Amino acid sequence: MKLRVIKCRPANLLFFFALAYFISFIIPSGQFARALPVTCRIDRISPQNRALAVSCSATLPAEKFELSFADQFAGVDRLSERVYGLKIKDDAGAILPPEIRGDGSYHFALNSRRWITIDYEMRLARSLDPSQFALVSSLGNEAGFLMLGDLLPRLRRDQTPDEDGDAPVNKIRLRIAAPPAWRIATTEKRDAEFFEIGDPRRAVFFLGRLREKTADVGATNLRMAIAGDWGFADDDVFKLARAIAQEQSAMVGGGRAADSLITLAPFPQPLMGLRSSGVTVGRTSALMLNPNNDASATFDHYRRHLAHEMFHFYLPNAFRVRENFDWFWEGAARYVALVTLARLQLISLREYLDAIGAEYEAYWFNPRRNQVSLITASPEKFSSAASYDLIYRKGMLVAALYDLELRWQSRGKLNLADVIRSLYQKYATGGREIGNREVLDEMRGAGDFSRQLRDDVESMREIDLNERISRYGLVMEWVATVRGRARLKTAAKLSARQQALLSDLMKRPGL
């Protein structure tokens, strides 16, 4: 991953490493990174032009420094090309002239003056793949998302060589001048006119003509903000979000005290067809929706995506992640979203089975299904559309098959939610690091799963769905369409054990 780096002498490039639901940097340690505060202002926000202005200032404790802008995040590249008219001035108002070198970086020399200002314009009108819009900062006529991780520059001492580490980033004092009639929703703390931001990588601001509501869900203060006009009522969204929050909190055994924000906004530019894009950063879920002419189908689509994003509050965002295991945190979150709606009795067994069939169909037609394991594919998910799709689709399918088998082996006493609760209590609550080994060990420990996890997660063995689901009283058939559609249904005759398993899928434990 690349950064456009502005610096005064040669240094190794910083690398901007990003995941779908949070952002982390590999940065140098040292007093400079810990101590340097930066004051910024975002203004001249133009929804029509999809642009805004940024001005930052800082006192530098060193004569040599560098600035960097994120160039790639979550498969979205060339982000630094959105920066226009960059000017760095000293406290006398003199512009520091850049030296542009062959690697594309900008180099500046400081005189004895240590106070600098940084001014530039961010133009956010670039077209993206629809799935990518919520991943980076955007502006539309109704609303905008400001992700400080890709908007603000990174300021640090110029050091050679770079030292890998997890040192804190610049602390930011931020003022935002919203357009007339626009409001701001965020989980960041505000002190008078400034937001005080300890970690800009996790800071998200939702701006627009917002309608808002708050609710206490256990230890969580849930804030909901909506922009745009929809074919369903705001209260339907608020009730749904609260119900999902209550159910998922119960799944993990009760979350820690936190402020959470869920959002709903139109895409920043017109699109065709029913689709959505979302990301969960820290405790903020940013979700965009493009409806079709069927309000009921639109809401059904939205609620499943919302349940997925909200579970990222817990997995992986509450954990200390040692390595990439997207196959689980995306696949399991995708499946947990389905189970959440089933436990709330918002979907039927037919809808549950159709969802599993759709995942298998996508998996079966994926050209990489027998070329790479889920373990291997996870760190490479942005390398190709096939790898990305495999993580989500096969990951969700594997979670479903594990859940069904665990229910079968335990005769309904355990399910995937119990395993996730155990992981949450051991690692998230305890602050311990987690990676593939810990997840797989926990899954194996719930029953006889060594072979299943080896075949489905660690190897490239193909999944024969019909063979795998027959013991649960389910069959899969291919329906004749242009490509072929995988459809699951219950067997003509079910045993009492099979009937109990399928019945338990559609209700909350203990009911």
What is the predicted pLDDT for the residue at 151? 92
- Contact in structure between 293 and 286 (CB atoms under 8 Å): no
The token duo for 279 is 């990301």
Length of the chain: 511
Say which residue, 133 or 73, is predicted with more confidence. 133
What is the predicted pLDDT for the residue at 31? 39
Distance of CA 163 to the CA centre of its chain: 27
Lowest mean pLDDT among 6-20, 34-48, 440-454: 6-20
φ/ψ of 302, rounded to 5, equals -65, -45
**pLDDT tier at 510 (50, 70, 90 boundaries)?**
low
pLDDT per position as a tens digit, 356-405: 999 999 999 999 999 999 999 998 887 788 888 999 999 999 999 999 99
Strands 194-197 and 189-191, sheet pairing? antiparallel
Q: Is 6 exposed, middle or buried (0-12, 13-18, 19+ CB in 10 A)?
A: buried
Kindly state the percentage of the chain with pLDDT values over 90. Answer: 66
Q: What is the pTM (predicted TM-score) of this model?
A: 0.87
pLDDT per position as a tens digit, 199-250: 888 899 999 999 999 999 888 899 999 999 999 999 999 999 999 999 999 9
pLDDT at 18 over 80: no
pLDDT at 94 over 90: no
**What region does 181 belong to: left with phi over 0, alpha with psi -120 to 50, or beta?**
left
What is the predicted pLDDT for the residue at 21? 31
What is the predicted pLDDT for the residue at 98? 64
φ/ψ of 192, rounded to 5, equals 60, -120
CA–CA separation, 59 and 115 (whole Å): 5
Domains present along the chain, CATH in parentheses: 3-128+147-202 (2.60.40.3650), 315-505 (1.10.390.10)
Q: Among 159-168, 380-389, 460-469, which range has the highest average pLDDT?
A: 460-469
pLDDT at 112 over 60: no
**pLDDT tier at 104 (50, 70, 90 boundaries)?**
very low
Q: Is 450 exposed, middle or buried (0-12, 13-18, 19+ CB in 10 A)?
A: exposed
93 Cβ partners below 8 Å, 6+ apart? none
What is the predicted pLDDT for the residue at 277? 95
The token duo for 336 is 């947990």
Mean pLDDT of the region 468-495 = 90
Say which residue, 157 or 465, is predicted with more confidence. 465
What is the predicted pLDDT for the residue at 107? 56
The candidate with the shortest Cα–Cα distance to 352, out of 362, 342, 340, is 342
pLDDT per position as a tens digit, 181-206: 999 999 999 988 899 998 888 899 99
The candidate with the shortest Cα–Cα distance to 151, out of 130, 176, 181, is 176
The amino acid at 464 = D
pLDDT at 157 over 80: no
The token duo for 383 is 């390398």
What is the predicted pLDDT for the residue at 73? 79
